[in-house]
Amino acid sequence: MVLEKPIYLDYNATTPVDPCVLEAMLPYFRDSFGNPSSTTHSHGWEAKLAVENARKSATRLLGAADPNSIVWTSGATESNNLAIQGVLGPFLDHKTAAHLITTQTEHKASLDVAHALERRGLEVTFLKPNRFGQVSPELVMSAIRPHTKMISIIHANNEIGTINPVSSIGPEARRRGILFHVDAAQSAGKIPIDVEKSAIDLLSVSGHKIYGPKGVGFLFVAPHVTKANLLTGLLYGGSQERGLRPGTLNVPGIVGLGRACEICFERINEEPQKLANMRDQFIAEVLDRVSKAGAKSNISAQLNGHPKDRVYSNISLSFHGLSSDVFALGLSRIAVSAGSACAAGEPSHVLAAIGLPEILAHATVRIGIGRFTTPEDLQVALEQIEAMVENQRN
Ligand SMILES: Cc1ncc(COP(=O)(O)O)c(C=O)c1O
**Where in the chain are the domains?**
7-15+270-393, 19-267
Separation between Cα atoms, residue 195 and residue 78, nearest integer Å: 20
Cβ 75 under 6 angstroms from ligand 1: yes
pLDDT tens digits, one per residue of 200-243: 999 999 999 999 999 999 999 999 999 999 999 999 999 999 99
229: left (phi over 0), alpha (psi -120 to 50) or beta: left
Q: What is the pLDDT of residue 342?
A: 47
Cβ 109 under 6 angstroms from ligand 1: yes
Structure pTM? 0.97
Separation between Cα atoms, residue 159 and residue 368, nearest integer Å: 10
In the three-class reduction of DSSP (H, G, I as helix; E, B as strand; rest coil), residue 28 is classed as: helix
Nearest to 281 by CA among 371, 378, 365: 378
Q: In what order do the strands lie in the sheet with 99-103?
A: 70-73, 217-221, 202-206, 179-183, 148-154, 99-103, 123-127
pLDDT tens digits, one per residue of 57-111: 999 999 999 999 999 999 999 999 999 999 999 999 999 999 999 999 999 999 9
Active site members: 342
pLDDT tens digits, one per residue of 10-56: 999 999 999 999 999 999 999 999 999 999 999 999 999 999 999 99
Q: Which amino acid is at 232?
A: T
Pairing outcome for strands 179-183 and 148-154: parallel
Q: Ligand 1 atom closest to Cα of 214?
A: 10
Q: Ligand 1 atom closest to Cα of 106?
A: 1
Query: What is the CATH code for 19-267?
Result: 3.40.640.10
Confirm whether 7-15+270-393 and 19-267 share one CATH topology.
Answer: no
Nearest to 104 by CA among 134, 149, 63: 134
CATH architecture of 7-15+270-393: Alpha-Beta Complex (3.90)
The answer for residues whose C-beta is within 8 angstroms of residue 308's C-beta and 6 or more apart is none
Nearest to 128 by CA among 349, 310, 328, 371: 349
Separation between Cα atoms, residue 256 and residue 21, nearest integer Å: 5
Distance from the alpha carbon of residue 265 to the mean position of ligand 1, in angstroms: 20
Question: Running DSSP on this structure, what letter comes out for residue 213?
Answer: -
Q: Which amino acid is at 44?
A: G
